[in-house]
């Protein structure tokens, strides 16, 4: 087994380590929580952590592998969350949970994917700063439309309005589903850590396989040199769109997971701050590093809660930690210094191993 691990391709080994980290984390948390060693505060953060991990992985596909800066990821999360949660409120009581929950995820993912196509087709003609600004605008448009959207259902069918609740003309016993700025309320909580864990595994399987496939190599070729990629016959639009839509679909999944974890869902939650927050996970974890995204998303979600004891200084310390970690991870001098330190340790450790081999 070990020897096979050594002879394995470098990427396969790296991917296995990523899966290993996620699975070990899940098992450790399950054992600790079974033994009653975790706090409520920690358990309450598990589902948001899973959602942010999936978001970070999916955004990394756009930012790290396609090489395009997207600032509208929260928009895809938002449409996914609203469509998935809407379906859940409609069928959650009539269908068994093991059918209704996956259905909510599928619907959320598909709707987010459709929006990915709608946004992607015109937007992917742009690149760099232009693309970033257009995606930012897209996120804001989604937020404002859902903020103004009223949707209700009564015996005459579905009503909707973009002005106010009264203009929907619902009958007295009609039910308001999306209530403008108040969003969806009274959601029956359905997300669990296990669902989040399974979602992360699915995300990893799909995205890691995509990256290591022919399509993935084409996507990375576009990132590295668009003109060269085009000259060898790579269809730019097709591969750009593939990456963008896959990224949107998983953001939609994450949105559903997030939405089903709270009993209220408002569009203003998914503003550009959320998009930036996801981007911070990706950048801090290392652009193009899936494992880094996972770790950064988990740590940065937990950090503000850990710092609650510091009261008013909490967000200040959070910002300082961000800066320090960013410098530690990215500054060339620090990287060189880290290599020297690690080199010193591993050379001492490495010597006996070499003897064994010999």
Partner 1 sequence: MKKLISAALASAMVLSLAACGSTGDSSSAASGTGDSTAATAEASAAGETTPIKLGGIGPVTGANAQYGTAVKNGEQLAVDEINAAAGYTVFELSFEDDESDSEKAVNAFNKLLDDGMQVLLGPVTSDPSISVAAECASENIFMLTPSASSQDVVDSGAGNAFQMCFTDPNQGKTAADYIAANSLGTAIGIIYDSSDAYSTGIYTAFQAEAEAKGLEIVQTSSFTADNNTDLSTQVSQCQQAGADLVFLPIYYQQASQVLIAANNIGYEPAFFGCDGMDGILSIDGFDTSLANDLMLLCPFSAYGEDETTKTFVAAYQAAYTETPNQFAADAYDCVYAVYQCLQDGVITPDMSAEDMCDALKTAFTSMTFSGTTGENQTWAADGTITKDPKVYQVQDGAYVLMSSKQ
Options 80, 183, 252, 255; binder of partner 1; rule CB under 8 A: 183
CA distance 26 to 20: 10
Do residues 83 and 248 lie in contact, with contact meaning Cβ atoms separated by under 8 Å? no
Please, what is the minimum distance in Å from the beta carbon of residue 309 to partner 1?
6
Query: What residues contact residue 29 under an 8 Å CB cut-off, 6+ apart?
Result: 38, 46, 193
CA distance 274 to 278: 6
Q: Which is nearer to partner 1, 155 or 312 (CB)?
A: 312
Q: Which residues 268-297 are close enough to bind partner 1 by CB under 8 A?
A: 268-269
Taking phi over 0 as left and psi of -120 to 50 as alpha, with beta for the rest, 146 belongs to alpha
Please report whether residue 144 would count as binding partner 1 according to CB under 8 A: yes
CA distance 133 to 177: 32
Options 41, 194, 209, 237; binder of partner 1; rule CB under 8 A: 41
Sheet containing 150-154, strands listed edge to edge, beginning at the edge strand earlier in sequence: 157-161, 150-154, 175-179
Query: What residues contact residue 152 under an 8 Å CB cut-off, 6+ apart?
Result: 158, 159, 160, 165, 168, 170, 174, 175, 176, 177
Binding window for partner 1 (CB under 8 A); candidates: 72-80, 114-122, 237-245, 259-267: 259-267
CA distance 34 to 27: 10
Please report whether residue 165 would count as binding partner 1 according to CB under 8 A: yes
CA distance 78 to 115: 11
Size of the site for partner 1 (CB under 8 A): 43
Binding window for partner 1 (CB under 8 A); candidates: 64-72, 84-92, 131-139, 162-170: 162-170
- The C-alpha R_g of the chain, in whole angstroms, comes to 22
Please report whether residue 330 would count as binding partner 1 according to CB under 8 A: no
Query: What residues contact residue 235 under an 8 Å CB cut-off, 6+ apart?
Result: none
Return phi, psi of residue 218, to 5°: -65, -40
Please report whether residue 14 would count as binding partner 1 according to CB under 8 A: no
Place of tokens 């009609």: 174
DSSP category for residue 188: P
Please report whether residue 43 would count as binding partner 1 according to CB under 8 A: yes
Q: Which residues 58-117 are close enough to bind partner 1 by CB under 8 A?
A: none
Please, what is the minimum distance in Å from the beta carbon of residue 172 to partner 1?
12
Please report whether residue 39 would count as binding partner 1 according to CB under 8 A: yes
What's the Cα-to-Cα distance from 63 to each of 52, 289, 323, 356, rounded to whole Å?
16, 11, 20, 43
Binding window for partner 1 (CB under 8 A); candidates: 8-16, 97-105, 112-120, 163-171: 163-171
Please report whether residue 323 would count as binding partner 1 according to CB under 8 A: no
Options 5, 117, 181, 342; binder of partner 1; rule CB under 8 A: 181
Please report whether residue 186 would count as binding partner 1 according to CB under 8 A: yes
Please, what is the minimum distance in Å from the beta carbon of residue 20 to partner 1?
28
Options 95, 153, 182, 325; binder of partner 1; rule CB under 8 A: 182
Please report whether residue 226 would count as binding partner 1 according to CB under 8 A: no
Please, what is the minimum distance in Å from the beta carbon of residue 195 to partner 1?
17
Binding window for partner 1 (CB under 8 A); candidates: 68-76, 159-167, 207-215, 239-247: 159-167
Residue ranges that bind partner 1, judged by CB under 8 A:
39-41, 43-45, 48, 140, 144, 147-148, 164-166, 180-183, 185-186, 189, 258, 262-266, 268-269, 304-305, 308-310, 312-315, 320, 324, 333-334, 337
């Amino acid at each position: 087994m070990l020897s096979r691990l050594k002879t394995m391709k470098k990427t396969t080994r790296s991917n296995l380590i990523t899966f290993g980290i996620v699975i070990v984390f899940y098992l450790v948390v399950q054992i600790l929580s079974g033994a009653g060693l975790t706090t409520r505060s920690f358990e309450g953060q598990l589902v948001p952590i899973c959602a942010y991990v999936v978001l970070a992985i999916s955004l990394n596909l756009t930012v790290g592998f396609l090489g395009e800066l997207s600032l509208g990821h929260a928009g895809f999360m938002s449409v996914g969350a609203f469509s998935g949660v809407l379906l859940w409120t409609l069928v959650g009581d009539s269908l068994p949970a093991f059918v209704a929950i996956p259905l909510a995820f599928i619907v959320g993912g598909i709707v987010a994917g459709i929006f990915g196509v709608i946004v992607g087709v015109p937007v992917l003609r742009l690149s760099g700063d232009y693309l970033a600004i257009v995606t930012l605008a897209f996120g804001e448009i989604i937020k404002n439309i859902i903020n103004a959207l009223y949707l209700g259902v009564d015996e005459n069918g579905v009503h909707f309005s973009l002005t106010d609740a009264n203009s929907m003309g619902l009958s007295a016993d009609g039910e308001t589903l999306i209530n403008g700025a108040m969003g969806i309320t009274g959601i029956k909580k359905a997300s669990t850590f296990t669902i989040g864990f399974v979602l992360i595994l699915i995300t990893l399987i799909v995205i890691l396989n995509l990256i290591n496939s022919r399509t993935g190599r084409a996507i990375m070729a576009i990132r590295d040199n668009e003109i060269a990629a085009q000259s060898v016959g790579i269809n730019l639009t097709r591969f750009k769109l593939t990456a963008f839509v896959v990224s949107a679909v998983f953001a939609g999944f994450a949105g559903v997971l997030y939405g089903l974890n709270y009993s209220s869902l408002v569009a203003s939650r998914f503003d550009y701050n959320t998009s930036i927050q996801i981007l911070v996970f990706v950048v801090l974890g290392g652009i193009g590093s899936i494992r880094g995204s996972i770790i950064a998303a988990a740590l940065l979600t937990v950090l503000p809660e850990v710092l609650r004891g510091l009261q008013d200084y909490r967000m200040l310390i959070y910002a300082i930690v961000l800066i320090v970690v960013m410098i530690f991870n990215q500054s060339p001098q620090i990287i060189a210094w880290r290599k020297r330190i690690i080199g010193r340790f591993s050379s001492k450790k490495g010597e006996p191993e070499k003897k064994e081999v010999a």
